[in-house]
Amino acid sequence: MNSLPQQRTCYDDEDEGHVIKHKRVRGGALMLAVAVGVMGGGLPGTAAATTAGTTAARSTHTADDARLRALMHRLTTADGAPGALVATRDGRGSSVLTSGVADVGSRASVRGDSRFRIGSMTKPFVATVVLQLVGQGRVDLDAPVERYLPGVVRGHGNDGRVITVRMLLQHTSGLPDYLDHLDPRDILGDPLAHHDTRDLVNLALAHPPTFEETGAKPGSEWHYSNTNYLLAGMLIEKVTGHAYGEEIRRRVIEPLGLHDTSVPGDATSIPGPHPRGYVRPGEDAPLVDITAFNPSVAGASGEMISSGADLNRFLDALVRGKLLRPAQLKEMMTTRPTGGDDDRAYGLGLESRTLRCGGGLYWGHGGDVFGYQTAGGATADGRQATVMTNVDPGGPDAQDDDMESAVQTGLCQGRPAHSR
């Protein structure tokens, strides 16, 4: 089925009951001595292919389709990603366009049903569960974190007694990002190692708040920190008595039938069809294969696995009110500027951006994790687009721009001329 039943809701379960958003390293700044295979050789030319759902009615000869093909070609040539995939979906059907290769050794093509590590695209799933708990009266958005995780957020000026649940979800807590204090070479040198969530939180809390230099208080400034979502995952476990991944499975994955989506925990492999994931240690360095990787270092901030089709279905259900009650969806979509030079604004685990073709906003998130990058979004009128590549870090700055353009182009396909 290509659309969710309109009467279906998944937020009324009353039962009681781990992108990394990693900074991409450019040029030769990340010189890795790692115990994983190094893959040499150049990338092949791209041969894009389209597969369409049985109800798809879009023409393959539209201007938007040509733009999307050109962007996919750029991602796997100029930007240097081995492979890329973009999945689009609207009221008429769904389609998948792929480019490049899933494996630089075998030169196997990227499959349309491939699964990728999705990094910080995990955050909207986590925020959805927290907001479902808010809707059930089990969590108060404006209560201090201390209420749910007593004594956890303390030290060096970080204080869970003045940081609220809302601040965690919106990245206004001021908590330092634990990833700023991890050496990527240590992770890549032992990619199968387990990382304890509490240890990662404590690593962050050994440093002062990000607002210390400005004297600002929690809640007053926006600063992206993966530590916030590690804590949100811990909060879910404390309130429900179940691991956050189990709650995502029960509340989101199963009701929506997301068969390609999982929360792997310590599992180091990707189930089902998937491209190999790569890191580029330096501008002219050969690719490093990082497919086998323990995502516990990302935890609730970015460990999940999914496909383009599943992410489109999830984003559609979320944006159109199938997962959250109206009050909680409104809270999620109440945004604040991120302070960048674009129009991005951040709500509670969900970002908004303006559609370049007109027609208002789209809602989504991005995700970076070792080996993979994802970006996706959905509109309130039932359009979704997700783009995925199998290199990170190591792509040029243009890769981010081209992925954003691919999402925008996918969402704008087939819109009437007056809205463009």
Choice among 120, 173, 225, 306 that is catalytic: 120
Asked whether the predicted pLDDT for residue 59 surpasses 50, the reply is no
Structure tokens at 138: 């089990």
Instruction: Please compute the mean of the pLDDT values over residues 47-53 and round it to a whole number.
Output: 42
Asked whether the predicted pLDDT for residue 353 surpasses 50, the reply is yes
With beta carbons less than 8 A apart as the criterion, state whether 392 and 373 touch. yes
Cβ count within 10 A of residue 343: 11
Asked whether the predicted pLDDT for residue 26 surpasses 60, the reply is no
| pLDDT-based confidence at residue 63 (cuts at 50, 70, 90) | confident
Instruction: Please compute the mean of the pLDDT values over residues 43-62 and round it to a whole number.
Output: 41
With beta carbons less than 8 A apart as the criterion, state whether 107 and 265 touch. no
Determine the pLDDT at residue 62: 67
User: What does the pLDDT look like over 292-320, one tens digit per residue?
Assistant: 999 999 999 999 999 999 999 999 999 99
Instruction: Find the range with the poorest average confidence among 277-286, 287-296, 344-353.
Output: 277-286
- What the chain holds in terms of domains, given with CATH numbers, is 39-415 (3.40.710.10)
Note the Cα 131 to chain centre separation in Å.
18
Asked whether the predicted pLDDT for residue 56 surpasses 90, the reply is no
End-to-end CA distance of the chain: 29
Let me know if 120 is a catalytic residue.
Answer: yes
The amino acid sitting at 248 is I
